[in-house]
Amino acid sequence: MLDDVLLRARRKRWTQLAVTNLRIFVGFAFVPAGLKKVLAEPFTDPHLHGPFHDFLHAFHATGWFYQFVGVMQLLTATLLITQRFATVGALFATPILTTILFFCWSTKVYPTATVVTLMWLGTLALVAWDWPKWRAIFDREAAHEARAGLPEAPIDRRLWQACGWAVLCLYLAVCAATGGVYRPRGAAWDTPAFYVFPAMLLLVIATFVLDRSRSRKRS
Protein backbone atom coordinates (compact mmCIF):
# COMPACT_ATOMS: atom_id res chain seq x y z
CA MET A 1 0.00 0.00 0.00
CA LEU A 2 2.78 2.43 0.91
CA ASP A 3 4.53 1.59 -2.35
CA ASP A 4 1.42 2.58 -4.33
CA VAL A 5 1.02 5.85 -2.42
CA LEU A 6 4.68 6.76 -2.97
CA LEU A 7 4.51 5.80 -6.63
CA ARG A 8 1.59 8.15 -7.21
CA ALA A 9 3.25 10.90 -5.17
CA ARG A 10 6.52 10.63 -7.07
CA ARG A 11 4.69 11.25 -10.34
CA LYS A 12 3.51 14.68 -9.15
CA ARG A 13 5.68 17.73 -9.62
CA TRP A 14 4.48 19.50 -6.49
CA THR A 15 5.37 16.59 -4.19
CA GLN A 16 8.84 16.36 -5.72
CA LEU A 17 9.31 20.08 -5.13
CA ALA A 18 7.98 19.80 -1.57
CA VAL A 19 10.40 16.99 -0.71
CA THR A 20 13.32 18.80 -2.33
CA ASN A 21 12.64 21.97 -0.36
CA LEU A 22 12.00 20.05 2.85
CA ARG A 23 15.45 18.51 2.54
CA ILE A 24 16.98 21.95 2.14
CA PHE A 25 15.02 23.36 5.10
CA VAL A 26 15.83 20.52 7.50
CA GLY A 27 19.43 20.42 6.31
CA PHE A 28 19.98 24.14 6.71
CA ALA A 29 18.43 24.05 10.20
CA PHE A 30 21.42 21.96 11.30
CA VAL A 31 23.98 24.43 9.96
CA PRO A 32 23.92 27.20 12.63
CA ALA A 33 23.83 24.71 15.50
CA GLY A 34 26.55 22.60 13.90
CA LEU A 35 28.82 25.57 13.23
CA LYS A 36 28.55 26.82 16.82
CA LYS A 37 29.65 23.42 18.07
CA VAL A 38 32.50 23.01 15.58
CA LEU A 39 33.78 26.48 16.52
CA ALA A 40 33.43 25.52 20.20
CA GLU A 41 31.05 28.41 20.87
CA PRO A 42 28.52 27.99 23.73
CA PHE A 43 25.03 27.18 22.55
CA THR A 44 23.36 29.29 25.23
CA ASP A 45 24.31 32.38 27.25
CA PRO A 46 26.52 31.56 30.26
CA HIS A 47 24.34 33.54 32.68
CA LEU A 48 21.22 31.49 31.92
CA HIS A 49 20.39 28.55 34.19
CA GLY A 50 17.81 25.82 34.54
CA PRO A 51 17.66 22.17 33.35
CA PHE A 52 17.83 23.15 29.68
CA HIS A 53 20.68 25.66 29.98
CA ASP A 54 22.64 23.74 32.61
CA PHE A 55 22.71 20.69 30.36
CA LEU A 56 23.96 22.77 27.45
CA HIS A 57 26.67 24.32 29.65
CA ALA A 58 27.84 20.83 30.63
CA PHE A 59 27.59 19.69 27.00
CA HIS A 60 29.79 22.57 25.90
CA ALA A 61 32.31 21.67 28.60
CA THR A 62 32.88 18.23 27.06
CA GLY A 63 35.14 19.86 24.47
CA TRP A 64 35.88 17.62 21.50
CA PHE A 65 32.68 15.62 21.96
CA TYR A 66 30.72 18.86 21.63
CA GLN A 67 32.60 19.57 18.40
CA PHE A 68 32.10 16.03 17.13
CA VAL A 69 28.33 16.43 17.42
CA GLY A 70 28.66 19.65 15.44
CA VAL A 71 30.58 17.82 12.71
CA MET A 72 27.83 15.20 12.51
CA GLN A 73 25.18 17.92 12.22
CA LEU A 74 27.08 19.64 9.41
CA LEU A 75 27.60 16.31 7.66
CA THR A 76 23.88 15.59 7.92
CA ALA A 77 23.06 19.03 6.55
CA THR A 78 25.42 18.54 3.61
CA LEU A 79 23.97 15.12 2.77
CA LEU A 80 20.41 16.47 2.81
CA ILE A 81 21.15 19.56 0.78
CA THR A 82 23.00 17.62 -1.94
CA GLN A 83 19.70 15.82 -2.74
CA ARG A 84 21.69 12.93 -4.22
CA PHE A 85 22.70 11.63 -0.78
CA ALA A 86 19.55 12.86 0.98
CA THR A 87 18.47 9.35 1.96
CA VAL A 88 21.57 8.90 4.09
CA GLY A 89 21.13 12.43 5.41
CA ALA A 90 17.56 11.72 6.52
CA LEU A 91 18.66 8.54 8.27
CA PHE A 92 21.40 10.51 10.06
CA ALA A 93 19.01 13.31 10.98
CA THR A 94 16.39 11.02 12.53
CA PRO A 95 18.32 9.91 15.67
CA ILE A 96 19.83 13.38 16.10
CA LEU A 97 16.45 15.09 16.04
CA THR A 98 14.83 12.37 18.16
CA THR A 99 17.40 13.02 20.89
CA ILE A 100 16.92 16.79 20.68
CA LEU A 101 13.14 16.33 20.64
CA PHE A 102 13.01 14.39 23.90
CA PHE A 103 15.57 16.70 25.49
CA CYS A 104 13.54 19.81 24.68
CA TRP A 105 10.21 18.39 25.84
CA SER A 106 11.71 16.93 29.03
CA THR A 107 13.27 20.29 29.95
CA LYS A 108 10.00 22.10 29.12
CA VAL A 109 11.33 24.57 26.56
CA TYR A 110 8.05 24.37 24.68
CA PRO A 111 8.65 26.87 21.84
CA THR A 112 11.91 25.16 20.85
CA ALA A 113 10.36 21.73 21.38
CA THR A 114 7.51 22.63 19.02
CA VAL A 115 9.90 23.68 16.26
CA VAL A 116 12.01 20.54 16.75
CA THR A 117 8.87 18.40 16.64
CA LEU A 118 7.94 19.85 13.26
CA MET A 119 11.47 19.21 11.99
CA TRP A 120 11.31 15.66 13.36
CA LEU A 121 8.00 14.98 11.61
CA GLY A 122 9.44 16.41 8.40
CA THR A 123 12.46 14.12 8.69
CA LEU A 124 10.21 11.10 9.21
CA ALA A 125 8.39 12.11 6.03
CA LEU A 126 11.73 12.21 4.20
CA VAL A 127 12.63 8.75 5.49
CA ALA A 128 9.23 7.45 4.38
CA TRP A 129 9.69 9.09 0.97
CA ASP A 130 12.79 6.97 0.38
CA TRP A 131 11.12 3.77 1.62
CA PRO A 132 11.80 1.88 -1.67
CA LYS A 133 15.54 2.40 -1.16
CA TRP A 134 15.80 0.80 2.26
CA ARG A 135 12.62 -1.21 2.78
CA ALA A 136 14.53 -4.50 2.49
CA ILE A 137 15.49 -4.00 6.14
CA PHE A 138 11.87 -4.56 7.25
CA ASP A 139 10.10 -6.06 4.23
CA ARG A 140 10.79 -9.81 4.06
CA GLU A 141 9.80 -10.13 0.43
CA ALA A 142 11.98 -7.18 -0.57
CA ALA A 143 14.81 -8.54 1.56
CA HIS A 144 14.57 -11.89 -0.22
CA GLU A 145 14.70 -10.15 -3.61
CA ALA A 146 17.67 -8.05 -2.51
CA ARG A 147 19.56 -11.12 -1.36
CA ALA A 148 18.69 -13.21 -4.40
CA GLY A 149 21.71 -12.05 -6.35
CA LEU A 150 24.11 -12.17 -3.41
CA PRO A 151 26.34 -15.14 -2.60
CA GLU A 152 25.20 -17.37 0.24
CA ALA A 153 26.37 -16.14 3.64
CA PRO A 154 29.36 -18.20 4.81
CA ILE A 155 28.10 -18.16 8.40
CA ASP A 156 25.05 -19.50 10.21
CA ARG A 157 23.15 -16.26 10.85
CA ARG A 158 20.49 -17.91 13.00
CA LEU A 159 23.15 -19.37 15.24
CA TRP A 160 24.76 -15.96 15.72
CA GLN A 161 21.36 -14.35 16.28
CA ALA A 162 20.76 -16.88 19.06
CA CYS A 163 24.18 -16.02 20.48
CA GLY A 164 23.32 -12.31 20.53
CA TRP A 165 20.02 -12.94 22.30
CA ALA A 166 21.73 -15.25 24.79
CA VAL A 167 24.34 -12.60 25.64
CA LEU A 168 21.65 -9.95 26.10
CA CYS A 169 19.38 -12.17 28.21
CA LEU A 170 22.29 -13.30 30.38
CA TYR A 171 23.28 -9.73 31.17
CA LEU A 172 19.69 -8.65 31.85
CA ALA A 173 19.27 -11.62 34.18
CA VAL A 174 22.32 -10.52 36.16
CA CYS A 175 20.97 -6.97 36.33
CA ALA A 176 17.65 -8.29 37.62
CA ALA A 177 19.44 -10.47 40.18
CA THR A 178 21.64 -7.63 41.44
CA GLY A 179 18.84 -5.08 41.42
CA GLY A 180 20.54 -2.57 39.15
CA VAL A 181 22.69 -2.00 36.09
CA TYR A 182 25.74 -4.18 36.74
CA ARG A 183 29.12 -2.63 35.96
CA PRO A 184 32.18 -4.34 37.43
CA ARG A 185 34.69 -2.08 39.18
CA GLY A 186 37.88 -3.95 38.45
CA ALA A 187 38.46 -7.68 38.92
CA ALA A 188 35.80 -8.53 41.52
CA TRP A 189 36.64 -12.22 41.75
CA ASP A 190 34.56 -12.68 44.91
CA THR A 191 31.39 -11.35 43.22
CA PRO A 192 29.34 -13.99 41.36
CA ALA A 193 27.96 -11.38 38.97
CA PHE A 194 31.48 -10.56 37.79
CA TYR A 195 31.62 -13.87 35.94
CA VAL A 196 28.80 -12.87 33.60
CA PHE A 197 31.30 -11.20 31.27
CA PRO A 198 33.60 -14.24 30.99
CA ALA A 199 30.43 -16.27 30.41
CA MET A 200 29.44 -13.94 27.55
CA LEU A 201 32.88 -14.35 26.02
CA LEU A 202 32.59 -18.13 26.31
CA LEU A 203 29.21 -17.96 24.56
CA VAL A 204 30.76 -16.11 21.64
CA ILE A 205 33.70 -18.54 21.49
CA ALA A 206 31.36 -21.55 21.65
CA THR A 207 29.22 -20.08 18.88
CA PHE A 208 32.31 -19.51 16.75
CA VAL A 209 33.45 -23.11 17.25
CA LEU A 210 29.99 -24.51 16.50
CA ASP A 211 29.59 -22.32 13.42
CA ARG A 212 33.01 -23.35 12.16
CA SER A 213 32.14 -27.01 12.66
CA ARG A 214 28.86 -26.64 10.75
CA SER A 215 30.62 -24.74 7.97
CA ARG A 216 33.08 -27.59 7.51
CA LYS A 217 30.26 -30.11 7.34
CA ARG A 218 28.45 -28.04 4.70
CA SER A 219 31.57 -27.83 2.55
Task: For residue range 101-153, list pLDDT tens digits in order.
Answer: 999 999 999 999 999 999 999 999 999 888 877 777 776 666 565 555 545 55
- What is the DSSP secondary-structure string of the chain? -HHHHHHHHHT-HHHHHHHHHHHHHHHHHHHHHHHHHHTT--SS-TT--SHHHHHHHHHHTTTHHHHHHHHHHHHHHHHHHTSTTHHHHHHHHHHHHHHHHHHHHHTT-HHHHHHHHHHHHHHHHHHHHTHHHHGGGT-HHHHHHHHHTSPPPSS-HHHHHHHHHHHHHHHHHHHHHHTS-----S--TT-GGGGHHHHHHHHHHHHHHHHHHHHHHH-
- If pLDDT is split at 50, 70 and 90, which confidence band does 173 have? confident
The pLDDT score that the predictor gives to residue 150 is 46
Q: What is the pTM of this model?
A: 0.73
Task: For residue range 33-60, list pLDDT tens digits in order.
Answer: 899 899 888 888 888 888 888 998 999 9
